[in-house]
Every structure is written in C-alpha cells, then in structure tokens.
Structure 1
Amino acid sequence: MTRLWLAIQFLTRLPTPATPDFRPELLVESARWFPLVGLIIGALLTTLAWPACRLDPWLAAWLALLLWVWVTGGLHLDGLADLADGLGAAHRDRERLLAVMRDPHLGSFGVLSLILQCGGKLVLLMLLARAQAWWALLLVPAWARLGVLYWQSLPALSTGMAEAFTWQLPRRARLAWLLALLATSAWFAPALLLAPLCIWAYRHWLQHTLGGVSGDCLGAGVEVCELALLLLCSISLLLPPWLI
C-alpha cells in the first residue's frame, strides 16, 4: 500500500498516511498506480457533478473544474504553462527551451495556455454533464495518467522527475492498465477507445519535436490528453448510435 499512498501524495492533495521509510525508488515504483489515482479523481469529479447537474449543467461543470484543479494542486497545469512558455520563446533552440521551462516566472504563452485549457475543460464538462456522460468523466483522468507510463520511457531532457521515472518502467502494469481501460471504455464510453492514439500522438510529438521528456512535459501531457479525450467524448454525443 505504500506505493499507492505515494502515488496519491504525488498526484493529488488528498490526505494519506505518512511514509517514514521513504526511498526514491518507492516513488518510481508508485507510477504503476497512476491510472488508479486517475480513477479516484474521476470518481470524485463524478460524485460532485452528478447531483450539481440536477440544478444546472454549467454549475456542475464549474464545480467539477474547481475540484479538478484543487485535487491535483494545479500540478499538471503548471507543467502545461511551463511547456507553453518554453515553446513560445525557444525559437527551435533546445537549450533556450529548457532554460525558459526552468524559469519560475509565468509568461504570456503560459497564461494563454491556462486560459484555453481551463476554458475548454469548462465547456466540455458542461456538455458531458448535460448528456449525463458520467462514465466518460470517470475514465478520462485515468487514461491521461496511463499516458505518463508511456511517455516516461523517452530520454530525459534534463535532470529531474522525468529522469527519475526512467529508472524502472512498470511494463506489466502498463499493459494490464491498458487492457483494463480498453475493456471498460468499450462497454461504457466507446469514444475513449481512441485514447491510446492520443497517448501515442503526444509521445510521437515529444520524440520528434523535443527529443525527450521532462517533468513539465509529463504534466502537460496529462492536461493535453484530458482535454483531447473530453473533446472526443463530447463529439461522440453528436454522432448516431450506430457509429459509436
């Protein structure tokens, strides 16, 4: 259970038991539980949004977004903003990209990325709440955190969290979670069967554009995948049942 508690501590603000015998390798091994933490986040979002939707879908979406930001501590949003600032200022210079991403100050590109990300999530959450698509809301955070297990296998761009997670790749757990999420999505949210494509596309972009991964890239990937999967689920609501 220590590894599960560490995964929850790392990805959320949720209270967990203390880990007095902490070792860095335990955090690496905890990565296998990241998709489960995503399911916990999805369950919390659904538990809040479902009753709030009876009052108004916009209210449900806004409350869910607030909870989403709070429960994750803005961890992945921070990575998204740093990556956006780096890409906006790098001008294809890798060293400048890394330098800007390490800068603790927030630039205009980072601000714009946060506005677009939160605004996009708000609208898409409203559409899912209005359609009562609770299974999609439950599974999207899990799929996005499964992506971390695939992106972390890329070379580390610099010393830091991404480099630490390349020490040990939980390949069996990765495959087990992939099959479990595919089976659940096929039954309850077929649009999410395209989630592996989103995960692969972001990994491909990291490999060919940046040549590797950093902690900020992992966080940004979670946010990008969450938005893309929410969009896929929302689009699927407009399609005839025989196409889904």
Structure 2
Amino acid sequence: MKGLCIAVQFLTRLPAPSVSVSNDAFGASMRWFPVVGLIVGGIVAAAGWAGAHVDSWTGALAALAAWILVTGALHLDGLGDMADASGAAHKDRDRLRAVLADPHVGSFGVTAITLQLLAKLVLLHALIDHRQIAALVLVPFAARIAPLFWTRWIAPLHQGLGARFAGAIRPTDIAFWTLALLATAWFHPALLAIVPVIVLWGRWITRRIGGISGDGHGAGIELIETALLLGLCVETAL
C-alpha cells in the first residue's frame, strides 16, 4: 500500500499518510496510477451527480471543478508546457526542449488549457444530460493506464520524472492493467479509444521531442481523458 500512498500524494491533492520515498519507490508507484484514477473518477462522478440536481450544466461545472481541484491541475500544466514547446516547432529540437523546460506559460499553453477545459465541460454536460454519470468513474482510471505503456516504450527525455519511472513497470503490470481495461470496455466499448491515442501520442513524442517527460505524460493523460469523454458521448448517442 506504500506505492498507493505515494501515487495519491503525487497525482492528487488528497490527504495521504506520510511515507519516506526513495527513487525506486517513487518509480514503482506508477503501478498504482490507475487505482488513483478510480479515486479521481469517483470524486468527479460524485460532484457531477450532486450538481445535476440543479441542472446538467451545473453538474458539468461541478464535475470539472472537482477534476481540477483533486488533481491540482497537474496534468493541465503538462499540457500547457507541451503546447508551448510545440509552438517552437519551426526551431530545432534543442530549442523545443528549451521551451519545454521553461516554467512560464505562453500563449500556446494558455490556448491549449482553455480549449481543454471547454472541451471537457461540454462533453461532461453531454454525458450528465444523458444520465451517464457512472461512466465518468472510468475515464481517469483508463487514462492513467497509458503512462505505463509510454514508460515501457519511450526513453526518458532527461533525468526528471520520466527517468524516475523508467524501468519500474514490469510486463506483468502491463498485462494486469490491460486485462482490467478490457473488462471495463465490456460495459463501455468506447474506452478502447484509448488504444489509438496511446499510439499516436507516443509516436508524436518520439518523433518530435525524442523522449518522454513528466509533461509528456501529463499532456497525454489530458488528451486521453478528452478522447474518452468524446467516445462515451458517441457511444451514448448510438
């Protein structure tokens, strides 16, 4: 359970028991990321359910606010950083990496974060309006399986978070969470939309940047969450 406590402390703003953390223990905590996703999803769904007693838009706003608050906008920060770096695409790779390392948020980052929040708000409203609140629990869960694949597939960009995760994920971890994803997809096949997004984001990261970092993981999680919300909306409409 130590790994779960570390993962909760890292991925959320929820209170968790204080534990000593070595580099190896921190890296191994990634195995618990999907469990933290279930916790986040449960909170998001509960907030959406409570807000929906007013109307669907209030439910969507409550769910989005809970999503941001419980994660501390951690992955949105990564999305903004990746968007700013992409804005330097006309430069060489070294320039792109320099922009990625800059802690300041530029216009590309602000635009990406704004569009992401708007997209989530609209998609949350659609799902809540169609009484698919329970499905929201599974979106953060599935999205946090993706970093396990990227860690096994893509070399770390530098000696940061990506490097601390490298080597911590075993084939058995991949197999277990793949089976868990397939089990949930039996009830909501739209969750399988995660597969092409994992591949496309991984290929983009590899070709454009040359390695995965904490920002790459965070931005990828955000993109997958939006893709899964969209997939669930399409599934509901069919």
TM-score, length of structure 1 as denominator length: 0.93
CA distance in 1, matches of 2:85, 2:17: 36
Equivalents in 1 of 2:204, 2:91: separation in Å? 14
Contact 1:156 1:213 (C-alpha < 8 Å) held by counterparts: yes
Structure 2: 5+ residue stretches without partners: none
CA contact (8 A) 1:31 1:170 kept: no
Task: Please report how far the alpha carbon of residue 164 of structure 1 lies from its aligned counterpart in structure 2 after TM superposition.
Answer: 1.2
Letter in 2 for 1:36: V
Structure 1 residues 1-244: aligned runs within 5 Å: 1-19=1-19, 21-153=20-152, 154-187=154-187, 189-239=188-238
Assess if the C-alpha contact under 8 Å between 2:97 and 2:209 holds in 1. Answer: no
Contact 2:41 2:141 in 1 (8 A): yes
CA contact (8 A) 1:85 1:106 kept: yes
Q: Deviations over 1:207-234 (max 9, x none)?
A: 2332221111111000010011111111
TM-score (norm 2): 0.95
**Partner Cα separation in structure 1 for residue 228 and residue 100 of structure 2:** 26
User: What is the CA RMSD across the aligned residues, in angstroms?
Assistant: 1.3
Instruction: Please give the alpha-carbon distance, in whole angstroms, between the structure 2 residues aligned to 1:73 and 1:51.
Output: 21
Cα deviation, residue 185, structure 1: 2.1
State the one-letter code of the partner of 1:42. Answer: G
Q: How big is each residue's C-alpha offset from its partner over 1:125-161, in whole Å with a ceiling of 9 and x where there is no partner? A: 0001111112321111011110010112211122210
Q: How many residues align?
A: 237
Identity over the aligned pairs, expressed in percent? Answer: 45
Segments ≥4 residues shifted beyond 6 Å:
none
Tell me the amino acid that sits aligned with residue 55 of structure 1.
V
Unaligned runs of 5+ in 1: 240-244
Question: Is this contact kept in 1: 2:93–2:208, CA < 8 A?
Answer: no
- Please give the alpha-carbon distance, in whole angstroms, between the structure 2 residues aligned to 1:163 and 1:92: 25
Mean CA deviation greater in 5-14 or 199-208? 199-208
